[in-house]
Chain A
Amino acid sequence: MTKLLKSRELLLSGIIVLMIAGFATRAQGFAEPGNLVNIFNDTSILIILALAQMTVILTKSIDLSVAANLAFTGMAVAMTNAAFPDLPLVLLIVMALGIGAFLGSINGFLVWILQIPPIVVTLGTLTIYRGMAFVLSGGAWVNAHQMTPTFLNVPRTPFLGLPILSWVAIAVVLGMGFLLTRTPFGRSAYASGGNPVAAVYAGIDIGRTRFFAFVLSGAMAGLCSYLWVSRYAVAYVDIANGFELDSVAACVIGGISIAGGIGSVAGAVLGSLFLGVIKNALPVIGISPFAQMAISGVVIILAVVFNARAEAKKGRIILRNRATHEATA
């Protein structure tokens, strides 16, 4: 299984490198380190959200409310910053994480305690959270001049050649890698998505695992809300509209099975970078940015077809692997 997964990630890296090389022939300077850093920085928020989404998807759930959560939390943080410019940034970030985690816990609670299917819950909370962003702001915008310079500048401050925003993404990638592969929570997440019945017999509380996956996803959305608002220097009701689908798309492209239990951090990161490279290349090679939506649609469908084939082939091998795992454990 690891061999197949590895090949999946190698394949995706290969495609991304080929794409960058191809675009570089059409547009000079596309493959230059400076531009690649820009692309990575531009994709940082998507990477973080895709990892959050991946954790939820691993447990056989889906969180469609991440973008709405981001919009609400971003609005709350921006308004707090505008109203109380003296509050330290750390406090605002903690607040963003807290509000995000709270909204995520509402999803998690409904999924865990009431056992409502995650897609229904998050479809509902998606409209509720974005509506609440409107109620909170009254439809008004928080513009750059209302925010404090520290609030705006920290994520774009260069540090060792990369902006802080990119470092945050790298830290999240490493943290998630550790969380998913080296902790009991990570193993439970894989188990409760891979085979819920077996997970129950193994003593894993699936509901609680899902709950914490949603809380984590919410907290990440909260973190991204601050990054998003400070990066684009504006907060309004419609920010990140439709971004939840991008995060799902990044996961699907990265080989994370929508049926749960299969996927790796590297896959989610590569899936995000894939979308990020396309998004940054379109204007450079003279394709209308309006084409981006259709392209991601095609990519999602192709990725799903590809995933389904890979999973169909894998069936037997998983069983054997599990058996050996249990024997050694």
Chain B
Amino acid sequence: MSDVNANATRRVIPDRLGTPVTRILASWEVLLFGVAVLIFIANSLASPYFLDAYNLSDATFNFTEKAMIAFAMALLIIAGEIDLSVAAIIALASTAMGAAAQAGVGTAGLVAIGIGVGVLCGAFNGTLVSVLKLPSIVVTIGTMSLFRGISYIVLGDKAYGGYPESFAYFGQGYLFWVFSFEFGLFLLCAAVFAVLLHATNFGRQVYVIGNNDFAARFSGVPVERVKFILFLLTGLMSGIASVCLTSRLGSTRPSIAQGWELEVVTMVVLGGVSILGGAGTIAGVVIAAFVMGLVTFGLGLLNVPGIVMSIFVGLLLIITIALPILARRIKQASRS
């Protein structure tokens, strides 16, 4: 991802900023929120079963686990790196938890193992990228193969089950009424990452690295350390997502969460994070998570098969990136 920065630095800086109101109205987050509302309305018109508290609560499971990873991935992409191994980390962490459950480890131990494996995988990615200075996109394609490959070696065509009963709470439990534990965790993670990115020194460093990692180095930003921490965070969130997903499904196969890395990246980019690094907000990612959840859930209610939904996800990804580019072109053309 570092090679694209050369093209990215030529930002157009407007002569004068719009008024605060127009700036907010024209922001990506507000646009996306509008899209979310439209999809919500379209869904409720298309299916009579959509507007139901229990149904909507079920719908949140479509995106909560992916969104947890997406928050960490957003930071990583803003810093100009990417991690394609997140879904494989889920598989490896889930396999480790399955093996531990077979050995009779209790719920607390399982959670620790799941999160621990996630952190270790993140540390492995981080070491390769920030210590050995390798391009993250190939490294994580390699570790994606490696992590999921280990699951395949351990499990082959078998599956782990038999998790303790109390372990089911993380994926199936409810805090109160229709608010699931996962949804609560999703909101908590959103808040934590929003503070981390927008209100701390660390968050500013992430932006600086993504905008110009050369300048960041000269400004005394510990570039390698920040990148390492970001990979660690992504591993951590993948571990947490793995705990939730494994608990929700109640079983582990090596193909668990296959293809999620694409959906997570799509969610991040849809949320207005620049794939070239340097720009984006957590609020955008949260709204994007809702948009994707609503789209897949609505299509599901209309009996659209999963693989056809993936067409919509792919289109959504390309269109949301293409539209602002086209809009900017048209604006420039009309000015000259």
List A residues at the B interface (Cβ < 8 Å): 60, 62, 110, 114-117, 119-121, 123-128, 130-132, 134-135, 139, 196-197, 237, 245, 248-249, 252, 258-260, 288, 290-298, 300-301, 304-305, 308
A127, B313: Cβ atoms closer than 8 Å: yes
Contact indicator A298/B156 (Cβ below 8 Å): no
User: Which residues of chain B come closer than 8 Å to A305, judged between CB atoms?
Assistant: 128, 132, 134
B322 and A301 contacting across the interface, CB-CB below 8 Å:
no
Cβ–Cβ contact B150 & A258, under 8 A? no
Contact yes or no, B142 A301, CB < 8 A: yes
Q: Does B145 lie at the interface of the complex (its beta carbon under 8 Å from any beta carbon of A)?
A: yes
Could you jot down 11 A-B contacts, CB within 8 Å? A114-B321, A114-B322, A119-B275, A124-B266, A125-B314, A128-B310, A293-B146, A293-B152, A297-B143, A300-B142, A308-B134
Distance, CA A134 to CA B310, complexed state (A): 11
- Interface contact B139-A288, CB-CB below 8 Å: no
B149 at the interface (CB under 8 A from A): yes
Partner of B317, one of A120, A131, A245, A295: A120
B321 touches A120 (CB 8 A): yes
Interface 0/1 of B134-158, CB less than 8 Å to A: 1101110111111111101101110
The answer to whether B317 touches A124 (Cβ under 8 A) is: yes
| B335 interface residue (CB < 8 Å to A) | no
- B139-A301 in contact (CB<8A): yes
Determine which of A127, A128, A294, A304 lies in contact with B135 in the assembled complex, contact meaning CB atoms within 8 Å.
A304
Contacting pair A131 B149 (CB below 8 A): no
Residues of B within 8 A of A120 (CB): 265, 269, 275, 317-318, 321
Contact A110 to B139, CB < 8 A, known contacts A123-B262, A128-B311, A292-B149? no
Residue B330 at the A interface, CB < 8 A? no
Task: State the Cβ distance, A258 to closest chain B Cβ, in Å.
Answer: 5
- Measured CA separation A259–B275 after assembly (Å): 17
Check if B138 sits within 8 Å of A258, measured CB to CB: yes
B305 interfacial by beta-carbon distance below 8 Å: yes
With A110-B318, A128-B318, A301-B128 known, 11 other A-B pairs at CB within 8 A are A115-B7, A117-B4, A120-B275, A125-B314, A128-B310, A249-B142, A290-B155, A294-B146, A294-B153, A300-B138, A300-B141
A249 CB contacts on chain B under 8 angstroms: 141-142, 145
- Chain B residues whose CB sits within 8 angstroms of the CB of A288 once the complex forms: 153, 156
The complex places the Cα of A116 from the Cα of B307 at a distance, in Å, of: 24
- Report the interface size class on chain B: 35 or more
- Contact present for B322 and A116 (CB under 8 Å): yes
Partner of B145, one of A117, A139, A197, A293: A293
Alpha-carbon gap, A294 to B314, bound state (A): 28
Q: In the complex the two chains form, is A130's CB within 8 Å of B307's CB?
A: yes
Chain A minimum-CB-distance residue to B145? A297
Q: Are B149 and A127 in contact, CB atoms less than 8 angstroms apart? A: no
Find out whether the CB atom of A308 lies under 8 angstroms from the CB atom of B145.
no
- CA A214 – CA B224 in complex, angstroms? 34
- Does B15 reach chain A (CB closer than 8 Å)? no
B6 at the interface (CB under 8 A from A): yes
- Indicate if the CB atoms of A297 and B135 lie closer than 8 Å: no
The interface centre, meaning the residue of B82, B133, B135, B314 with most chain A CB atoms within 10 A of its CB, is B314
In the complex, B326 has a CB within 8 A of chain A: yes
Give the complex CA separation of A131 and B325 in angstroms.
Answer: 26
Q: Which residue of the partner chain B has the closest CB to A298?
A: B146
Q: How far is the CB of B216 from chain A (nearest CB, A)?
A: 20
Q: Which of A132, A248, A294 contacts B138 (CB 8 A)?
A: A248
Whether A308 pairs with B133 at a CB distance below 8 angstroms is: yes
Residues of A within 8 A of B262 (CB): 123, 126-127
Using known A-B contacts A291-B152, A304-B139, determine if residue A131 contacts B145 with beta carbons closer than 8 Å: no
Q: Does A258 contact B135, Cβ atoms closer than 8 Å?
A: yes
- Contacting A117 at CB < 8 Å: which of B146, B149, B259, B276? B276
Judging by beta carbons under 8 Å apart, are A114 and B326 in contact? yes
Residues of B within 8 A of A126 (CB): 262, 314
For residue B279, give the distance in angstroms from its CB to the closest CB of chain A: 14
In the complex, A115→B276 CA distance in Å? 12
Residue from B138, B155, B310, B321 within 8 A of A127 (CB atoms): B310
A294 contacts B152, CB within 8 Å?
yes
B3 within 8 A of A: yes
User: Whole-angstrom distance between the alpha carbons of A135 and B312 in the complex?
Assistant: 12
Contact B147 A297 (CB under 8 A): yes
Name, among A127, A197, A249, the residue most crowded by chain B CB atoms within 10 Å (CB to CB). Answer: A127
Contact with A along B1-39 (1 / 0, CB 8 A): 001101100000000000000000000000000000000
Contact status A293-B149, CB under 8 Å: yes
Contact call A132/B311, Cβ cutoff below 8 A: yes
Q: How many Å lie between the Cα of A172 and that of B325 in the bound state?
A: 37
CA distance A287 to B29 in the complex (A): 51
Interface residues of B in 67-83 (CB under 8 A from A): 82
Q: Among the listed B149, B307, B322, B325, which residue makes an inter-chain contact with A295, where contact means beta carbons less than 8 Å apart?
A: B149
A-contacting residues, B298-336, CB 8 Å: 305, 307-308, 310-311, 313-315, 317-318, 321-322, 325-326
Is A130's CB under 8 angstroms from B310's CB?
A: yes
Task: Kindly list chain B residues whose C-beta atoms are within 8 Å of the C-beta of A130.
Answer: 307, 310
* Alpha-carbon gap, A291 to B156, bound state (A): 9
How long is the Cα–Cα vector from A301 to B135 in the complex, in angstroms? 11
A135 to B144, CA, bound (A): 28
The reply to whether B135 and A259 form a contact with Cβ atoms under 8 Å apart is: yes
> Which residue of chain B has the shortest Cβ distance to A60 in the bound complex?
B3
B321–A119 CB distance below 8 A: no
Please report the C-alpha to C-alpha distance between residue A225 and residue B305 in the assembled complex, in whole angstroms: 24
Q: Which residues of B contact A197 (CB under 8 A)?
A: 6
Q: Is the CB of B146 within 8 A of A297?
A: yes
Chain B residues within an 8 Å CB radius of A248: 138, 141
